[in-house]
């Protein structure tokens, strides 16, 4: 039905007209996003997910081809372990798949409680708290611990979730040059009156090297700051009993009150946890929004992760085999003059410099039946594009030799000259 008094040709502009004018002045958010995406495409930095049709140990079926993968974080080869699969099926058969609610409603099951106890005991902490992902865990910790006016000091190569966590908390964020404890000390000393958290990866996901944890712990003790370590890539792989880089450094809960690690890398499952003193865990239970307002992990997955903890601790041969494979790759790379970064962890980056060189190398390897990730900016700094080679206890010596043979056939990029091996 038409309006009772339609406006005439000389009628003044109404609020609807003013709203329309205001709308035209707003930024077109989708267009702005499209422009950013197009810019990334022009720079050759567009990223797309590739569908893996089937995974079996280190083998990945992609586009109908069976490829030998060197890009998984399944460091101990546990993702397909029969004990993990059996634990998952047993609970799923009994209780179904989903937890159906957040932990604090009715989603916290006996499988979650048992896993938290096992993780706390393994890492030498009083208690542990499960999160649905490592990203949520890091955001939750910082949002709960920090307040405006506080200081967060971080390594420049920290995982994005640590940086985002500090920004979400609204604190002053200071970043120090990679692994430079003296520079971290200067950042802390610059704001002596602020509450302070120093956060670092234990093992850096793109370089594969370790943080100087003992030096950072001593610094935090002197400055009265709290130390937080994201050990996503160290747990299960490093330290006595596979307890991680913090345990390897001989540091306990007094030196590292906040320990985060994931269940989706060496343990072959999914999810994450934070471990520390009872007071920390109680506080996170109350105030970490990523825990409070998120559906709990499926109980069957928690059961599988508990089985993974037991296997990882009991089967030390997996770490021994992994160490031997890492040494074999590095010896071969040194003989070939390949510019591997200095790392003795399963993450073995081959520095190639420019993004197009990394993409070309990855494609050449794929033509030879090998799947290796090409890592480009903005994940790594400009000029730091690389092949991120990762090893697993599921690999065999013949697999490493096949990779080395294929790497030897790659064109040598001048940008990589002089990189450490």
CA geometry: angle 192, 196, 197, nearest 5 deg: 150
Task: Tell me the sheet residues that pair with 176.
Answer: 155
Cα torsion at 108, 112, 117, 121 (round to 10°)? -140
Q: Please say if 81 is a catalytic residue.
A: no
The verdict on whether residue 176 carries a ligand-binding annotation is: no
Distance of CA 370 to the CA centre of its chain: 23
Exposure string for 361-399, b = 16+ CB within 10 A, e = fewer: bbebbbeeebbbbbbbbebbeeebbbbbbbbbbbbeeeb
Tell me if 76 sits within 8 A of 244, measured CB to CB.
no
Q: Please say if 156 is a catalytic residue.
A: no
Q: What 3-state DSSP class applies to 65?
A: strand
The verdict on whether residue 36 carries a ligand-binding annotation is: no
Residue 155: Cβ-neighbour burial (10 angstroms; 0-12, 13-18, 19+):
buried
The verdict on whether residue 51 carries a ligand-binding annotation is: no
Say which of 81, 103, 265, 270 is annotated catalytic.
Answer: 265
CA geometry: angle 132, 229, 72, nearest 5 deg: 60
Tell me if 238 sits within 8 A of 222, measured CB to CB.
no
The verdict on whether residue 65 carries a ligand-binding annotation is: no
The verdict on whether residue 75 carries a ligand-binding annotation is: no
User: Biggest alpha carbon distance in the chain?
Assistant: 88
Distance separating alpha carbons of residues 5 and 27, to the nearest angstrom = 34
Distance separating alpha carbons of residues 297 and 109, to the nearest angstrom = 10
Please tell me the number of Cα atoms within 13 Å of 14 on its side-chain side: 6
Write the DSSP string, 203-253: B-TTT-PBP-HHHHHHHHHHHT-EEEEE-TTTTTTSSGGG--HHHHTT--T
Q: Please say if 205 is a catalytic residue.
A: yes
Say which of 72, 132, 133, 205 is annotated catalytic.
Answer: 205
Say which of 103, 233, 321, 399 is annotated catalytic.
Answer: 233
Distance separating alpha carbons of residues 227 and 152, to the nearest angstrom = 10
Provide the sign of the torsion angle of the four alpha carbons 299, 301, 303, 309, taken in this order: negative
The verdict on whether residue 276 carries a ligand-binding annotation is: no
Of the candidates 323, 366, 326, 407, the one whose C-alpha atom is nearest the C-alpha of residue 65 is 366
User: Residue positions in the annotated binding site?
Assistant: 47, 134-135, 159, 205, 233, 262, 379
Active-site positions? 205, 233, 265
Positions at the binding site for substrate: 47, 159, 379
Annotated binding-site positions for pyridoxal 5'-phosphate: 134-135, 205, 233, 262
């Amino acid at each position: 039905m038409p309006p009772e008094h339609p406006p005439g040709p000389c009628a003044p502009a109404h609020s609807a007209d003013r709203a329309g004018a205001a709308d035209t002045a707003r930024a077109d958010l989708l267009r702005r996003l499209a422009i950013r995406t197009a810019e990334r495409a022009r720079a050759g930095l567009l990223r797309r997910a590739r569908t893996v049709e089937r995974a079996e140990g280190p083998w990945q079926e992609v586009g109908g081809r069976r490829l030998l993968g060197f890009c998984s974080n399944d460091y101990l080869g546990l993702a397909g372990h029969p004990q993990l699969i059996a634990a998952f099926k047993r609970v799923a058969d009994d209780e179904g798949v989903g937890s159906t609610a957040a932990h604090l409603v009715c989603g916290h099951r006996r499988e979650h409680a048992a896993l938290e106890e096992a993780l706390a005991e393994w890492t030498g902490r009083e208690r542990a708290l499960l999160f649905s992902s490592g990203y949520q865990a890091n955001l939750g910790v910082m949002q709960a611990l920090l307040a405006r006016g506080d200081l967060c000091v971080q390594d420049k190569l920290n995982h994005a979730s640590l940086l985002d966590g500090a920004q979400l908390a609204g604190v002053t964020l200071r970043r120090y040059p990679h692994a430079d404890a003296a520079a971290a000390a200067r950042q802390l000393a610059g704001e002596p009156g602020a509450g302070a958290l120093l956060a670092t990866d234990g093992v850096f996901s793109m370089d594969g090297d370790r943080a100087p944890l003992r030096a950072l712990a001593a610094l935090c003790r002197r400055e009265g700051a709290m130390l937080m370590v994201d050990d996503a890539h160290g747990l299960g792989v490093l330290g006595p009993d596979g307890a991680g880089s913090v345990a390897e450094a001989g540091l306990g809960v007094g030196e590292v009150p906040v320990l985060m690690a994931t269940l989706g890398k060496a343990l072959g499952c999914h999810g994450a946890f934070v471990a520390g003193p009872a007071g920390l865990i109680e506080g996170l239970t109350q105030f970490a929004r990523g825990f409070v307002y998120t559906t709990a992990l499926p109980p069957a997955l928690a059961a599988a992760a508990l089985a993974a903890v037991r296997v990882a601790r009991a089967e030390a041969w997996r770490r021994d085999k992994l160490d031997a494979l890492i040494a074999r790759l590095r010896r071969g790379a040194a003989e070939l003059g390949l510019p591997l970064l200095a790392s003795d962890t399963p993450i073995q980056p081959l520095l190639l410099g420019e993004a197009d060189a990394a993409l070309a190398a990855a494609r050449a390897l794929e033509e030879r039946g090998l799947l290796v990730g090409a890592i480009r900016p903005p994940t790594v700094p400009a000029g730091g594009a690389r092949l991120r080679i990762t090893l697993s206890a599921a690999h065999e010596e013949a697999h490493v030799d096949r990779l080395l043979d294929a790497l030897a056939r790659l064109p040598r990029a001048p940008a990589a000259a002089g990189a450490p091996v």
